[in-house]
Structure 1
């Protein structure tokens, strides 16, 4: 990772996992990946723009494998599904160099 030392990253891992485990115990939740992701989102360690970008790119790739020839149709489907403009979807895909 750019600008993050191994020591800082190790400490981040330790502190985050401890905080997550404490939250799970307090709320009687299972310690699992789904709950960890929810914790990271709730703590704003994963931004809504990151979630949106990741989901759009992965869904686009999955749909392209099923229907390789219709980029515009896939973009329109994703725009409708996630309440975005077609232009916003195109922009995300171009920024991530998916197109």
Structure 2
């Protein structure tokens, strides 16, 4: 998935477990910020931490780069978080900065 990242807000940056990867709750809060600040939501990457503490990027991801309705994109992002949440799962929301 390709996209530019706007500067991540400090309150989220400090909570990231792996660069910009988050547990479900923080990913949901980040979706709130994306929607409230007018960023264009592009999708979510999904990774899972194994028993040996290594991370694997999973094939399941949400690519909304062609979605033109941002409200619908964020709604689908919330559904994805709910559907794919689980032990050791981490999410990377991807967005394109559109607000100043």
Question: How does the TM-score come out when normalised to structure 2?
Answer: 0.27
**Which structure's relative contact order is higher, taking Cα pairs within 8 Å and 6+ residues apart?**
2
- Structure ranking higher in helix proportion: 1
